[in-house]
Structure 1
C-alpha cells in the first residue's frame, strides 16, 4: 500500500472508530485517562498499521485494553471508574421518569461488580460488539466468553436485586418499660 493510501485508510479508521475507542477507555479507566488511552491506542495502530485487520474495531479495543492494563495499575483504574459511576448514579429526583431511575440503579449495580464483569457486560451492551469480537478483546474463545458473560449477567442480576441495594439505616425503635413510662 502506498503512503497516501495508508494515510487515507488510517484517517478513515480513526474517524470511524475513535468515539468507540474513547468510550471503551472511559468505561475502563475513567474520563480523566480516556484521552491518553485513546491517543496511545491510535499511536500503536499507526506504528503497527500493517497488522490492523480489515475489521479494525475489535483489534483497536484489544490494543486499548492492553494500554490500560500496562499503564495503570488495577487500583488506580478501579478508583477512577468507581468515582465516575458514582457521579452517574446519583439518586434520581422523584419527578424524573422511571427510565432515569432504572439507569441509575443499573449503573449503581455495575459499580458494585468487579472490573472484569463490567468489561464483559459493557463490551456487548455499550460498545456494540458481537460475542466473537468481545472474546477477541478479552483474549479468550467465544465459548469461554459466553460462559463468562452468563456468569457476569447473573452477578449483575444479584446486584440489581432489592436485597443487595444499599439502604438507609432506620432509626432504632424506642421502647419504654412500664417503670419508665410512668415517670
Structure 2
C-alpha cells in the first residue's frame, strides 16, 4: 500500500524533474517562441508550454527539447487561430460601422528574411528548426510529428526553394544577411 510518505516522495521527484526540465530548456523554448510568436505573446507561449509539460510530466520523453518545441508550436498555432478569428470579427464590425482601417504592411528585415517569408510555412519551419533552433534532423522531425526520413526530404526541398527565392531576389549567397541560417542551408 502506498502511503502519504510515498505520495510525498513522488511529488518531490516530479517537482525536481520539472525544475530540471525548466532549467535545461527554458532558454531554448523562449528563443523559439520569440522568433515565432506575434508581438509580445512569447512569454505567454513559454508559460503555456511549461504548464503543459507540468501537467503531462509523465509523458515528457527523455529527449525533451523536441517535445517541448512541439508543444510550443501548438500553443503558437492556437494563438494565431484566435488572433485571426478576432481580426476577422474586428473587420466585420468595422465594415458594419462604416469605418475601415487600412492594414499596415510588414517590412522585411533583409533578403533572407524576405525569401523565407515567401516560402510555404512548412518550408520555413523545416529550415528554422535546424538553422535557428539548432536541432538535429531527427529532433526537428519529432517537433513536426514526422519520421526523420520524411523530414530530411522536406528539408532538402525547402533549402532548394529558398535558394531559388534568393536567386530571384538577386542574392544567391545568404552569408551576408543571416549567418545563423548559413550553416544548414548553404549549398
Please report the TM-score for the alignment, with normalisation by the length of structure 2. Answer: 0.68
Highest CA radius of gyration, 1 or 2? Answer: 1
Change (3 A) 1:28 1:135: same
Q: What TM-score results when the alignment is normalised by the length of structure 1?
A: 0.70
The Cα RMSD (Å) is: 2.3
Contact 1:62 1:138 in 2 (8 A): yes
Matches of 2:82 and 2:136, distance apart in 1: 26
CA distance in 1, matches of 2:71, 2:145: 11
Tell me what 2:181 maps to. none
User: In the alignment, is residue 127 of structure 1 matched against residue 169 of structure 2?
Assistant: no
1:16-45 deviation line (CA, Å, top 9, x unaligned) = 111111121223223422111111010000
**Unpaired segments of 5 or more residues in structure 1?**
77-81, 90-103, 167-183
Asked whether the 8 Å contact 2:111–2:169 carries over to 1, the reply is no
Runs of 4+ with >6 A deviation: none
Paired position in structure 2 for 1:17: 25
- Structure 2: unaligned runs, 5 residues or longer: 1-8, 85-104, 172-187
Residues matched between the structures, number: 143
Q: Of 143, 158, 161, which aligns to 2:164?
A: 158
Per-residue deviation, residues 44-102 of structure 1 (Å, max 9, x unmatched): 000011111111101101111111222322985xxxxx94x73xx1xxxxxxxxxxxxx
Whether the aligned pair in 2 keeps the contact of 1:28 and 1:119 (CA below 8 Å) is: no
Matched, 1:61 2:69: yes
